[in-house]
Amino acid sequence: MEKSSSSSSSSSFVPIENVDWISTLPNDLLLVILSRLSTEEAVRTSVVSKRWEHVWKHMSHIALDMRKKVTSSNNTLDVTKRVAPLMTKIINNHRGHLESCVIDSYTNGMLNTWIDSLTGVRQTKHLTLRRHVGEEKWQNSCRDFPQNSFSFASLTSLSLFSYTLRTSHSFNDCQNLKTLKLWVTFASEAGIFNRILASCPSLEVLVLGVGCFKKGGPLKIDNKRLKLLKVSAYGEMEGIKVTSPSLHILAIDEVLPCERYNFDLTSPGLQFSRFLARISLPHVSYNISKENCIGHEEYVIKSGGALLRKSFPAYMSVSVDLMNAREVSRLRQVLLAWTHPIRLELEIIFKKNNAHREEEASPKYKEPFPNAEFRVDTLWMYNFSGSSEEEFAFVSCLVRQKTVKRRMMIKTTGFPERNKLEIETAVAKLRALKTKDQWELTINCF
């Protein structure tokens, strides 16, 4: 019997085949797997087998970063000389078109070669170049990019960090660019930046952290398509002049080095009330629109609000149509993204010029609005009628959810007496919603 049992056990053994199931997947799925790895790790998979040898070369995004190698060595220049050729090899070996590429480097030596290969050959759509200070220091940060470097039709987004530009000729005829970000970027005078911006008429998103070494007139931002503008200025900038009729979002990131009268804004789509006199201070003005807006996508979806969240103190003006469900939904997204750790002073301007409305469901405010963590020290409201059910539902939700901590101020000046009475009645109802632990909150008219 024992022998029989042993024989039965032996006959039930099934050998397991040594099959590499992952390598049998189609390239599209393998590229999804590689997208979870760093570029360096993805390139290493080429030695796994013949099947993996060329897969990484079709990745839609690559990020080349010298910092990992440099931080482990005391000799920055020696490391960059060894790493730069490897980065060049990765770029040259890539096949097909690149959706995006990010390069963090300490050297300017190979930069022109990389740019030419990425924009001219691989038709990269989104290019980010970040220069870090090593042993070369700032004396070698000046950059003369080749003429027309960024004018290739495929390139739609460009971000430069920590460069000093001598000329504007690398931006000649850049009608292809829709997004331009110049972080910690300097030039001898504002005219260089003005010529760059004049060469980019298709811009919809513009982020500027720029400075000048000498006076040479104001920074001029004149663009008919611009939707989002974030600006901070350093050094000898003599003022900023903005002419942009399509602007939906304006962010002043830091206190500007120019007086109020040197900041000239012409943008009918943006409304200011209380914060107009402080426009040169850190501030965000946001005209919520039902239309598709690349600025809203950049602010809420791509950056999660981080793009506009460094201001101190925090002032925000928002214009919104509460009768439009799409605009209300976007307002929720904007406020959810603004998880500011410091005091926020918020201004809401209710739009009234919406006679024709699309057929859509009315906004509902039964859920916490905007969320349990969002807090405002002071809320200023304009065009609050007191008779609108949507407006009252919205504001009462802010009281019940304890969103406003100290002051809720509702403008009545300029309204007819009949409207003032409706507003004061609504204010009395709002006060009745306060709980005992909201003793610090005051709700008043002004």
Provide the residue ranges of all domains of the chain, joining segments of one domain with +. 24-59, 310-352+362-445
Average pLDDT over every residue of 279-300: 75
**Reported pTM:** 0.85
Least confident of 16-20, 210-214, 222-226, 392-396: 16-20
Average pLDDT over every residue of 334-356: 72
Q: pLDDT above 70 covers what percent of the chain?
A: 77
Average pLDDT over every residue of 280-288: 78
**Token pair listed for 71:** 């931080």
Least confident of 84-93, 100-109, 170-179, 437-446: 100-109
Least confident of 11-15, 263-267, 290-294: 11-15
Question: So what's the pLDDT on residue 117?
Answer: 92
Euclidean distance between CA atoms 234 and 209, whole angstroms: 8
- The better pLDDT of the pair 356, 255 is held by 255
397-415 tens-digit pLDDT:
889 888 899 999 998 877 7
Query: What are the φ/ψ torsions at residue 373 (nearest 5 degrees)?
Result: -95, -20
**pLDDT band per the 50, 70, 90 thresholds, residue 105:** confident
- The better pLDDT of the pair 50, 136 is held by 50
- The better pLDDT of the pair 338, 214 is held by 214
Query: What are the φ/ψ torsions at residue 325 (nearest 5 degrees)?
Result: -60, -35
Q: Between β-strands 404-410 and 442-445, what pairing exists: parallel, antiparallel or unpaired?
A: parallel
Euclidean distance between CA atoms 393 and 399, whole angstroms: 10
Average pLDDT over every residue of 157-164: 94
231-249 tens-digit pLDDT:
888 888 888 899 999 998 8
Which range of 153-167, 222-236, 249-263 scores highest in mean pLDDT? It is 153-167
Alpha carbon distances (Å) from 407 to 346, 374, 377, 380: 10, 15, 7, 8
The average confidence (pLDDT) of the chain is 81
Query: What are the φ/ψ torsions at residue 232 (nearest 5 degrees)?
Result: -145, 145
Residue 197 has pLDDT above 90, yes or no: yes
Residue 49 has pLDDT above 60, yes or no: yes
Residue 329 has pLDDT above 90, yes or no: no
- Chain centroid to Cα 4, Å, comes to 73
**Token pair listed for 102:** 């990010």
- Chain centroid to Cα 244, Å, comes to 19
Question: So what's the pLDDT on residue 1?
Answer: 46
Euclidean distance between CA atoms 215 and 226, whole angstroms: 26
Angle at CA 288, nearest 5°, toward 287 and 293? 100
Euclidean distance between CA atoms 110 and 81, whole angstroms: 10
